[in-house]
Structure 1
Amino acid sequence: MKQYSFLLLLLLGINAASKAQVTTIDSSKYPKLQTFTAQEDHDNMMQQLGIKKLRPGPSGNESAPNHANYDEAAANPCPQLPDILTLNNGKKVTTTEAWWQQRRPEIAAAVEKELYGRIPANVPAVSWTVKITDREFIGRTPAIVKQLVGHANNDAYPLINVDINMMVVLPTNVKGPVPVLMMFGVPSFPAPAQPSPAEMEKLNAVFKQMMLQYDPSLKAIFDKYPAYNPVTRLPGPNFFALPAVENLSSTEQLLAAGWGYATIDPNSIQADNGAGLTRGIIGLVNKGQPRKPDDWGSLRAWAWGAARGLDYLETDTMVDAKKVGIEGVSRYGKAALVTLAFEPRFAVGLIGSSGKGGATLERRVFGEAVESLTSSGEYHWMAGNYLKYGTEESSFGRKTGCDLTVDSHELIALCAPRLTFISYGIPEKGDAKWLDQTGSYMATVAAGVVFKLLGAKDIGVSNDYMKEKMPPMLTDMLDGELAWRQHDGGHTDASNFKYFIPWASKFLHYNRTQ
């Protein structure tokens, strides 16, 4: 029966498509759309930079000859980090004015140039359309769910289309606008509303009739099984068997606390591969041509897309746009940190297991290395210039992570004094040593000086990143706007949500009962 349903729907879809007006684009009016493999794109960037040879990244297999270093004694070949509070001219930063007007712009410019790339001046505007509005019951919470599409204006280069997919879920049992946590992921309706039994009966009657018109031989089957209905209801929530609040999913915990959430699809903004760099928003701005070394990579593109999602949330009267956060895990944890650093309208970030290219110090050699990103299928996350720091032979010589003029402690500092929660799990449960949790802790310690300069609290230790030792897992360092917690789970931040939500609510002065 599923086969017949599929064929019928396909037939209807083809018929509708044949009636739709087809718009023809004269591609000769525009620059030719380049199509590269990831390797071809990588080679093109190496050629632009004058790189002849890159060092291969270490193996994650500890028994391999080129295994990653996990010896802490060898992890800091250049332990002296760039001083966050020293200007490029050597002067010390001692006032908030000097930070905002001088030092922060210096750091932001260097982070853009060497790590993540710049957002071009001609990036197009995005217009949002609500495709579907659904009223759902998610666990114990009534909610309104909106499926949205954000269309990037492609009048300048119509050969590339960028439509950002986002789902917004807001509780309706809370008075007043609510805080929202935007998460990088795949949007889906959490609990789609369904027709009533009487409506289902009508749907089945019509659907059976349509199927019989398509294939009259199905009558024998329907006669044999008169009570059978092709369309059935999904199981609804059992309010007598709902889990305890502490066992709810991350999103249900948010709703129970009076928060909303949004899920935004990174791949609808920019593909997660090097072959996609002449497509997506990066390709649209470049009119289908390869990147230049200073151009943005996927992480910065995803961050730009999140900011466009925030543009929409600012128009929704059910949302407190001053209390919107950004969240992600792994590569999306990197993107969440980049988003928080460069988009000041985000009030809070939950940065999960972000590793190299995220919260972990770039110059550290422990597990994942700079070369892991520059020589692999992950180079597209970063600006082209980042490849220089994995270079063995080139027109400018040899460079390593130690040659970087910026590092991740400065990326975290760009988030200050806003709420920044750095989250990790433990290797025993799957949050691999490869991520270098210690390197992220060191960066968090070092970034604290800026939080304190701006009148906020850090994690409550000295800012000597070489002296301070990472605390045991389950140690709460949540007394300030900069927070650290290593949970006892794996490669996820779900285990920290029950700590993140009250922490963020406290500092945002949000109480759902008010």
Structure 2
Amino acid sequence: MKKLCLVISFSFLINCLNAQTEKAFVPNYDESKVPKFTLPDPLQTFEGARIRNQPDWESTGRPELLSFFTQQVYGEVPGSPESASSELIESSDNALDRIARRKQIKLTFKENGRSLDCHVLMYLPKGIGQAPVFLGYNFYGNHTVTTDTMVYIPQAWSRNNASFGVEDHKLTARSRGVRVNRWAIEEIIDAGFGLVTIYYGEIDPDRNNFQDGIHPLFYEAGQQQPSKNEWGAISAWAWGLSRVMDYLEEDQDVDSGKVIVMGHSRLGKTALWAGAMDQRFAAVISNNSGCGGAALSKRQYGETIARINNHFPHWFCRNFHTYSNNEASLPADQHELIALIAPRPVYIASAVDDQWADPKGEFLSACHATPVYELYGKKGIPTPEMPELDAPIHNTVAYHIRSGGHDVKEYDWKQYIKWAKVELKAK
């Protein structure tokens, strides 16, 4: 009986602690309750030295910030694997009712006697030679972005989603085309761009595991998870984007100098980090990326560091947990992540009903990254006053807040395409 009472008491204690934890994560949506904070100056080092010009930024400011985000937020990533190969597994010159070319590529990575495959889907415009492309991950498989029945269905683990026909963590034909609304493929093709997409779960399944996906290929003997300063899932996904970029540099149908990396939500965080680490990406688009993406962490508005680390402990490196409920101690914030992309174009997008992602915090990040862009003579966000709904700012640092919620809409793609045409032409 004593043992039973102890078990019941222990269970009661755990439930109470969990309830208190959840209570601590009640989001703040009241601007008057945003704590007062001093935003770090991207043109000042942690020791207070002033960054006055491009050489100062490139030799001092940028390396310091890149090291901070690497060691304390996203985690170190390895370089290229010891072996990487590509195989064209399917193609057609008459895809999407004959308006595009389709290519499906299997990439294979090998390291330490282990291997991992992933599949790249490409739709390219006809008759323009090497095409600029948008590169982005999808959430439920390449077959979900189109109704094209020729597109491969991934075998990798997936989050369940009954409305998409995903059960037992397996993707099937039932989910074909369920996300066509998020990918304006015909508009992209009509504008002279290509689309390159990959299922993010093939690089690293989105669960707190670290025993599948890319991580185990790089483990040392006996290692079961990344070290505290090593890559979480976001860094793993960013690593995968760089490996796709490796392939695109060799693909004669692609203008590898005009690859725009794009992501939504957690994959918007990934796009920003990939763009910061890998300067081969010509431009970066972050759609509704929120906490750990474009939104300022110190505002503690909507999703916070503690909330994201508690519910998605695998996304960031374990050192990032130091800042849970401790945003005041951050020596850098997300505007400086955006600054790391300079002088390349970057587009930050929000949605008015997506308060969880803190639209104002996303906008302010874009605004406060501007001084670094100005070192290069690039135009950023001219004022700290947010624009009106559906009134985009199309500068090298671009921003819009649209009507609606957490999603990728046709309106978003229209802005990205229009902006990319101008910015990549200028490049």
TM-score in same-fold range (> 0.5):
yes
- By how many angstroms is 1:489 displaced? 3.0
Name 2:30's counterpart in structure 1: 71
Any residues of structure 2 matched to 1:106-505 within 5 Å, and which? 106-120=64-78, 123-138=81-96, 142-154=99-111, 156-158=112-114, 161-172=115-126, 174-185=127-138, 186-188=141-143, 190=146, 192=148, 250-275=184-209, 277-287=210-220, 289-376=224-311, 378-390=312-324, 400-427=326-353, 431=354, 433-461=355-383, 468-478=384-394, 480-494=395-409, 495-505=411-421
Out of 492-501 and 315-324, give the one that drifted further.
492-501
Q: How far apart, CA to CA, are the structure 2 residues paired with 1:55 and 1:84?
A: 39
Task: Return the offset for 1:292.
Answer: 0.8
Please state how far the C-alpha of 1:56 moved relative to its aligned partner.
6.7
* Corresponding residue SS for 1:424: strand
- Residue correspondences, number: 375
The Cα of 1:354 is off from its aligned counterpart by 0.3
CA contact (8 A) 1:412 1:447 kept: yes
**C-alpha RMSD of matched pairs (Å):** 2.4
For structure 1, which segment, 348-357 or 502-511, has the greater mean C-alpha deviation from structure 2 after superposition?
Answer: 502-511
Determine the C-alpha separation between the residues in 2 that align with 1:405 and 1:95: 21
The one-letter amino acid of 2:227's match is K
Between the aligned residues of both structures, percent identity stands at: 30
Give CA deviations for 1:234-288 in whole Å, capped at 9, x if unaligned. Answer: xxxxxxxxxxxxx99511110010110101111111111112x132212221155
Matched residue, 1:47: none
What SS is found at the alignment partner of 1:162? strand
Q: Deviations over 1:69-89 (max 9, x none)?
A: 112122134x21121111233
In 2, the alpha carbon distance for the partners of 1:314 and 1:142 equals: 24
Secondary structure of 1:152's partner?
Answer: strand
Cα separation, 1, equivalents of 2:80 and 2:371 = 35
Deviations 1:269-319 (A, max 9, x none): 1111112x1322122211552221000111111111011111111111111
Q: TM-score of the superposition, structure 2-length normalised?
A: 0.82
Q: Secondary structure, in 3 states, of the residue corresponding to 1:278?
A: coil
Alpha-carbon distance change, 58 to 473 in structure 1, aligned in 2, over 3 angstroms: farther
Q: Secondary structure at the match of 2:214?
A: helix
Structure 2 SS opposite 1:82 = coil
For 2:361, give the aligned amino acid: G
Distance 2:32 2:272 in 1: 28
Q: Which residue of 2 aligns with 1:235?
A: none
CA distance in 2, matches of 1:380, 1:191: 32
Distance 2:20 2:376 in 1: 41
Partner Cα distance (1:439, 1:297) in 2: 24
Residue 472 of structure 1: CA displacement?
2.1
SS at match of 1:130: strand
Structure 1 residue 66, shift from structure 2 partner = 5.7
Distance across 1 between alignment mates of 2:123 and 2:255 = 13
1:122-141 per-position Cα deviation (integer Å, ceiling 9, x unaligned): 854421111111233325x5
Aligned with 1:422: secondary structure? Answer: strand
Whole-Å Cα distance in 1 between the matches of residues 370 and 398 of structure 2? 10
Shift of 1:383: 0.7
The verdict on how the C-alpha distance between 1:85 and 1:339 changes in structure 2, with shifts beyond 3 A counting, is same
Q: Which amino acid aligns with 1:345?
A: R
In the alignment, residue 402 of structure 2 is paired with which amino acid?
H
Q: Which amino acid aligns with 1:446?
A: H
- TM-score, reference length from structure 1: 0.69
What is the rounded CA distance, in whole Å, between the counterparts of 1:151 and 1:419 in structure 2? 31
Q: Distance in 2 between matches of 1:67 and 1:96?
A: 42
Determine if contact 1:151/1:164 at 8 Å carries over to the other structure. Answer: yes
Any stretches of 5+ residues in structure 1 without a counterpart? 1-52, 60-64, 195-246, 391-398, 462-467
8 Å contact kept, 1:122–1:285: no
Amino acid across the alignment from 2:304: A
Distance 2:183 2:206 in 1: 26
- Distance in 2 (alpha carbons) for counterparts of 1:510 and 1:112: 31
Task: Report SS of the residue matched to 1:380.
Answer: coil
Q: Distance in 2 between matches of 1:171 and 1:133?
A: 13
Residue 183 of structure 1 and its aligned partner are, at CA, apart by: 1.3
Q: Secondary structure at the match of 1:184?
A: strand
